[in-house]
């Protein structure tokens, strides 16, 4: 399958999730519900904080009126001092209360925001784990990583910053308008008239900003995918001197991020100066009407101060709301990208079956199975039927792409059949719970993945119930003990990324020991001997002979020498089983299996002659 194209990702996202902002955010309501009560309380407290800071200017204006009244002789000294101290005390008290509450609100809002994003991140990771191989291959690894890390973290900003700041600023605008109307009368209409202008401009700005932010997010995701792939394949890049090509590819992606960023910043570079122009024009308009009133004595100094002070306090939350659009577009684009994963329904249903068993007898049956990887493509398996009896060793052989590994994938429900039926111990595999099915199956693949940690960590996969003694027994069983004993730290030897400090054969033996530690009753080997040396192949062949006594063993093999002793061999070609029998029976047929066997024997003879010639020289 081709790698997921991030441009397709953008198109799919826009097509499927071009939702109204609130509708998109509703998808995250289930994550907020457990924290809704403390979140509402904190937001209400934040409104109280905002009211205290806003009312502080009112107290100062009242004191200016007191001073004016005292200087004009309207108030006696004692009365003026009482009023002055009262307003000053209220002013200081509100500032103290607001400061303490602001600290509490900011701390706990961020705590709640992080708890919500932890839940989102965990849900995203669990959803990815539940996806089928087909779904996992539909998107590059870097895209999954970006969504689970960067995009989910970006969502926490909405709950800890964006939502509270939005409520705080809306409340501030309303409080200021009420105070202006109650304290200055008709001057409130001047401020009120600017609101629709600001929000109409902000609306058109928001639509433009969303496009740029979503483009920037996808450009970053493409960069992450490119870096992940480049670093994983850096050995190939260096071997073929392709550093310059990779550098050019990096520059293109880097320029793409830079371009999207510049577009969004250009938008804001024009937006904020215009907002400042609106603020100053409002101030000039207010002063134009207020100064004559002050001169004529119809407006007090305190009221005039309040008008001037609230000009800044009025437009500051408006500018902050506009600034929120900057952050909100980034958050909404992250929400859209996370929603792509959340909306992916697992193709393999984990809870489709209810049957639980401790151990499989090991009978496997395919009944008229058809399968294709992509809708509309040609079937990879076509009317495949066979029976494998308990305790038998069975092999599938054939050319590359014949469908051998697909059979293994269908048994483990990595993929689902298009039609037909697969049974284990006369039960459809969908009757078993997925955990039961996979718990009783041991899968050993050609490309062994080792995690960072120690040899023991990779054998037990972190299962503390598996003792060191049991690990040692499995190592001896598969012939891994000699290699481990040669290492200074033995089982505690560190494993580097992807197990690069071990050979392919050593990694394979580790995977064998890992499989046996989980006591499978049905073992599947998918080309497990394809990339190993002759010496290790002999060790693995001995291990395979021992494994035959454990349970049913199904082998997909390229090297026919490893499956000569199998009880039954199926030859697969173009998705169909064309020959079957044991080794000797298939040779007598002188068909496809016979030709494969003769070809491999010829290759071995040529390799042996080359070795003799090289040794003689």
Interval 312-350: pLDDT, tens: 777 777 777 766 766 676 777 777 777 777 777 766 555
CA distance 530 to 608: 19
Same domain as 237, residue 123 = yes
Same domain as 149, residue 218 = yes
Q: What is residue 188's predicted lDDT score, i.e. its pLDDT?
A: 77
The pLDDT of residue 9 is above 60 = no
- pLDDT averaged over every residue in the chain: 77
Same domain as 337, residue 380 = no
The pLDDT of residue 127 is above 50 = yes
Is residue 468 situated within a structural domain?
no
Hey, what are 501's tokens? 């400090």
Same domain as 410, residue 287 = no
Q: What is residue 140's predicted lDDT score, i.e. its pLDDT?
A: 66
Q: List pLDDT tens digits, range 551-595.
A: 888 888 777 777 888 889 999 888 898 988 888 888 888 888 888
- pLDDT band at residue 139 under the 50/70/90 scheme: low
CB atoms within 10 A of CB 217: 27
Is residue 457 situated within a structural domain?
no
Q: What is residue 156's predicted lDDT score, i.e. its pLDDT?
A: 73
Same domain as 375, residue 288 = no
CB atoms within 10 A of CB 141: 15
The pLDDT of residue 13 is above 60 = no
Same domain as 95, residue 49 = yes
CATH number of 568's domain: 3.40.50.300
The pLDDT of residue 60 is above 60 = yes
Is residue 419 situated within a structural domain?
yes
Q: At what angle do helices 163-184 and 187-232 cross, to 10 degrees?
A: 170
Cβ partners under 8 Å of residue 457, min gap 6: 451, 495
Where a domain ends, among 342, 377, 404? 342
Q: What is residue 19's predicted lDDT score, i.e. its pLDDT?
A: 45
CB 132 within 8 Å of CB 76: no
Same domain as 386, residue 327 = no
**Can you give the pTM of this predicted structure?**
0.59
Q: List pLDDT tens digits, range 237-281.
A: 766 577 787 888 888 888 888 887 777 677 767 777 777 787 788
> Which domain range does residue 442 map to?
364-449+519-616
CA distance 578 to 596: 14
Least confident interval from 146-155, 193-202, 578-587, 606-615: 606-615
The pLDDT of residue 75 is above 50 = yes
CA distance 266 to 278: 19
Same domain as 334, residue 371 = no
In the DSSP assignment, the letter for residue 521 is S
Number of folded domains that form the chain? 2
Q: List pLDDT tens digits, range 397-419.
A: 888 778 888 888 888 888 888 88
For range 38-50, the mean pLDDT: 82
Please report the sign of the dihedral spanned by the C-alpha atoms of residue 132, residue 362, residue 448, residue 494. positive
Same domain as 607, residue 560 = yes
**pLDDT above 90 as % of the chain:** 3
- Tell which wins on pLDDT, 429 or 346: 429
Least confident interval from 3-7, 196-200, 412-416: 3-7
CATH number of 129's domain: 1.20.1560.10
Is residue 490 situated within a structural domain?
no
For range 464-489, the mean pLDDT: 83
The residue assigned the tokens 């393999």 is 348
Same domain as 315, residue 215 = yes
């Amino acid at each position: 399958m081709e790698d997921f194209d991030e441009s397709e990702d953008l198109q799919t996202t826009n097509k499927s999730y071009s939702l109204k902002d609130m509708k998109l955010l509703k998808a995250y309501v289930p994550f907020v519900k457990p924290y809704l009560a403390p979140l509402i309380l904190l937001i209400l407290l934040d409104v109280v904080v905002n009211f205290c800071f806003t009312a502080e200017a009112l107290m100062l204006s009242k004191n200016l009126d007191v001073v004016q009244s005292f200087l004009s002789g309207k108030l006696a000294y004692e009365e003026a001092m009482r009023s002055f101290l009262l307003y000053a005390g209220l002013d200081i008290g509100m500032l103290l209360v607001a400061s303490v509450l602001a600290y509490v609100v900011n701390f706990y809002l961020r705590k709640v925001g992080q708890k919500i994003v932890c839940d989102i991140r965990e849900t995203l990771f669990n959803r990815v784990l539940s996806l089928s191989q087909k779904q996992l291959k539909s998107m590059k690894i870097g895209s999954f990583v970006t969504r689970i890390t960067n995009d989910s973290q970006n969502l926490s900003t909405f709950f800890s910053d964006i939502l509270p700041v939005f409520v705080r600023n809306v409340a501030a605008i309303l409080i200021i308008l009420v105070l202006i109307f109650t304290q200055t009368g008709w001057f409130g209409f001047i401020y009120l008239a600017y609101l629709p202008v600001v929000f109409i401009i902000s609306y058109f700005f928001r639509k433009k900003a969303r496009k740029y932010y979503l483009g920037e997010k996808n450009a970053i995701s493409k960069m992450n995918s490119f870096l992940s792939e480049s670093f994983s394949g850096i050995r190939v890049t260096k071997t073929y001197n392709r550093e310059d090509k990779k550098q050019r590819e990096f520059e293109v992606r880097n320029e793409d991020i830079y371009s999207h960023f510049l577009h969004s910043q250009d938008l804001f570079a024009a937006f904020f100066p215009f907002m400042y122009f609106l603020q100053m024009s409002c101030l000039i308009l207010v002063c134009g009407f207020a100064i004559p009133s002050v001169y004529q004595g119809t407006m007090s100094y305190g009221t005039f101060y309040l008008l001037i002070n609230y000009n800044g306090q009025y437009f500051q939350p408006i500018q902050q709301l506009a600034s929120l659009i900057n952050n909100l577009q980034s958050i909404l684009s992250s929400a859209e990208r996370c929603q792509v994963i959340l909306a992916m329904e697992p193709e393999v249903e984990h809870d489709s079956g209810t049957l639980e068993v401790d151990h499989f007898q090991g009978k496997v049956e395919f009944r008229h199975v058809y399968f294709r990887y992509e809708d509309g493509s040609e079937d990879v398996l076509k009317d495949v039927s066979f029976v494998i009896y308990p305790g038998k060793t069975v092999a599938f052989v054939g050319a590359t792409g014949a469908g051998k590994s697909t059979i293994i994938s269908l048994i483990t429900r990595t993929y689902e059949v298009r039609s037909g039926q697969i049974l284990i111990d006369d039960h459809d595999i969908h009757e078993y719970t997925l955990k039961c099915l996979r718990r009783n199956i041991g899968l050993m693949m050609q490309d062994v993945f080792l995690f960072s940690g120690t040899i023991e960590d990779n054998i037990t996969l972190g299962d503390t119930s598996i003792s060191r003694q049991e690990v040692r027994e499995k190592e001896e069983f598969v012939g891994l003990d000699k290699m481990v004993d040669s290492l200074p730290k033995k089982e505690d030897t560190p494993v580097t990324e992807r197990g690069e400090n071990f050979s392919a054969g050593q990694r394979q033996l580790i995977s064998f020991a890992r499989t046996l530690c989980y006591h499978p009753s049905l073992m599947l080997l998918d080309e497990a001997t394809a990339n190993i040396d002759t010496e290790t192949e002999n060790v693995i062949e001995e291990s395979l002979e021992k494994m035959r006594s454990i349970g049913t063993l199904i082998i997909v093999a390229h090297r026919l020498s490893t499956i000569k002793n199998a009880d039954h061999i199926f030859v697969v070609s173009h998705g169909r089983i064309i020959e079957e029998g044991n080794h000797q029976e298939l040779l007598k047929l002188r068909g496809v299996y016979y030709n494969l066997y003769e070809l491999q024997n010829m290759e071995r003879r040529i390799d042996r002659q080359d070795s003799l010639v090289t040794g003689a020289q």
